[in-house]
Structure 1
């Protein structure tokens, strides 16, 4: 019996040692800013320094004399998520996209904490830097929550509001379906274990849930999400966002929005349910709902032709209609 216990004890120690070795081999350090900029910066990339030590990356593209669209990405995404729209709408509109702190090529100082108004302040800082007085603001997912919150605080700056599979609706979170990586990140222990771990497998699975069509989840796309998450300080901010309390949307809160609003939502969205899109459209007076069958969380990338055309038609009809 003692011999068996010694054997089992030895096997247990061996397993622990092997797990420790695996843990070490899966650790991934930060990537230098120069490396990331060389790979993900393009000719349209610009930077502005904002309060709090932020060095914010943005792109100002398209028709410099056209109506202005300001685009805000979702959690863990970056400005590249909007490039399909830039390609299709840039001939008509001036399109400004930006990377929020903890995302893309935007740099934050060590220990930076995202506060309740941080993302709104970044949007405001960029548009003020560019001297944009009036514009249409669009946001996807977490960026959609930034957009409707901005509309509540700065309605005088907006000609239109576009919520693309927007987050932030008030409802119980327990038991909802969604990518495994978000469930892991919602747990403090999971966040600690995942912090410096190679998350490529989980990231790919999460993207496949978001895009639905696995052929769209290319190695280059996964590389972009994984690489940019490894920017200095980004993982601290990203994991902090998962632990941060958010003030959710309610019908009462959104009823004050009088800006022309377009709600675009995929019916098969696994991250933000279609019912949330319906709720936003119902709560905001006069809002238009564009529902997309067989589409998930990112219609601007999944169905760029259709979604860009819908946006263009809506802006010309509801925001800047022809003058008699």
Structure 2
């Protein structure tokens, strides 16, 4: 055997070895939801059935509240992102939050529509199930887009809107965290339920925080657990396929509810310049910007962001 042939053989062996090592360190198959519930769904979590789907939900605070506060999380997040707000509100207000289909512990049903209009109808179905006729509705990122679309499609059900770094307008895909960018590559879909390269979750979470030093191991563990919930990684691909970024932007002008816009000025995903677009499109809306916060300001600094919400809710309609 010539030296060249030997070199090729060893190169092939080395490549196979490196591939095997890469697969081994990235191996992270789906986790059945039953294995996650004990850790991530203790009381006050409950599971309700909505249109035949088992939904993870927390419903806290006085049932006498005439207009509960409904909070909707964003892409690859969960109802836990609102823990700080719920803790600060539930003594006086009824606070309802849930994992939307495709994410958190709710997961998704086979073939379920994950477009933003379908999510808006899901919110309506949850509120119908709970007997809530009218609510203050808030949301972050994708959840913010769902909130205002729900307000447009069902204005009689929404008294006020709170939009936190909300989706609406187009923005460049290259600003997405690594985990989201991977979900826009269709070729990765067949293997995504088995592999998760080391650091993917931590780097993605650090990307959406204004101060990455606030990202704790416990926070990374939570996001990783939600990502590994059986079916969620595949659903992420379909969420991006079914909900093109900015597809509903023209509808923002149809929002009629009093609206508070909160934004972290260190948001690297959705540009802070979108605040001015919301203010221009929603008459009478108001905005509060936070210098040191990123894309999930309600999670990064619940105390400061909730203070702005409480001031907004205290104003008469």
Pairwise CA RMSD: 1.9
**Residues 54, 107 of structure 1: 8 Å contact kept:** no
Match of 1:146 in 2: 146
Match of 2:211 in 1: 213
**Residues 192, 234 of structure 2: 8 Å contact kept:** no
C-alpha separation between the residues in 1 aligned to 2:198 and 2:128?
37
**Residues 111, 233 of structure 1: 8 Å contact kept:** no
**Residues 258, 284 of structure 1: 8 Å contact kept:** yes
Distance 1:223 1:131, change over 3 A: same
**Residues 300, 307 of structure 1: 8 Å contact kept:** yes
Write out aligned runs for 1:175-324 (5 A).
Answer: 176-246=174-244, 248-250=247-249, 252-319=250-317
SS, match of residue 39 in structure 1: helix
Match of 1:22 in 2: 21
**Residues 145, 166 of structure 2: 8 Å contact kept:** yes
C-alpha separation between the residues in 2 aligned to 1:303 and 1:214?
13
Match of 1:322 in 2: none
C-alpha separation between the residues in 2 aligned to 1:263 and 1:191?
35
SS, match of residue 144 in structure 1: helix
**Residues 195, 239 of structure 1: 8 Å contact kept:** no
**Residues 182, 188 of structure 2: 8 Å contact kept:** yes
Cα offset, 1:190, TM superposition: 4.0
C-alpha separation between the residues in 2 aligned to 1:290 and 1:105?
31
Match of 1:63 in 2: 62
C-alpha separation between the residues in 1 aligned to 2:47 and 2:91?
23
Match of 1:72 in 2: 72
1:120 aligns with 2:120: yes
C-alpha separation between the residues in 1 aligned to 2:113 and 2:255?
29
Cα offset, 1:93, TM superposition: 1.1
C-alpha separation between the residues in 1 aligned to 2:314 and 2:212?
34
Give the TM-score, by structure 1 length: 0.90
SS, match of residue 223 in structure 1: helix
C-alpha separation between the residues in 2 aligned to 1:79 and 1:258?
26
C-alpha separation between the residues in 2 aligned to 1:255 and 1:14?
60
Match of 2:6 in 1: 7
SS, match of residue 163 in structure 1: strand
Cα offset, 1:92, TM superposition: 1.9
Unpaired runs of 5+ residues, structure 1, are 320-324
Distance 1:116 1:97, change over 3 A: closer
1:50-105: CA deviation from partner (whole Å, max 9, x where unpaired): 22x42111110123323410000000000100010011111121100010111111
Cα offset, 1:109, TM superposition: 3.2
Equivalent pairs, count: 314
C-alpha separation between the residues in 1 aligned to 2:105 and 2:116?
21
Give the TM-score, by structure 2 length: 0.92
Q: Which moved more, 1:302-311 or 1:240-249?
A: 240-249
C-alpha separation between the residues in 1 aligned to 2:312 and 2:115?
33
Distance 1:117 1:178, change over 3 A: closer
1:250-290: CA deviation from partner (whole Å, max 9, x where unpaired): 3x522222110011011110111101122112211111111
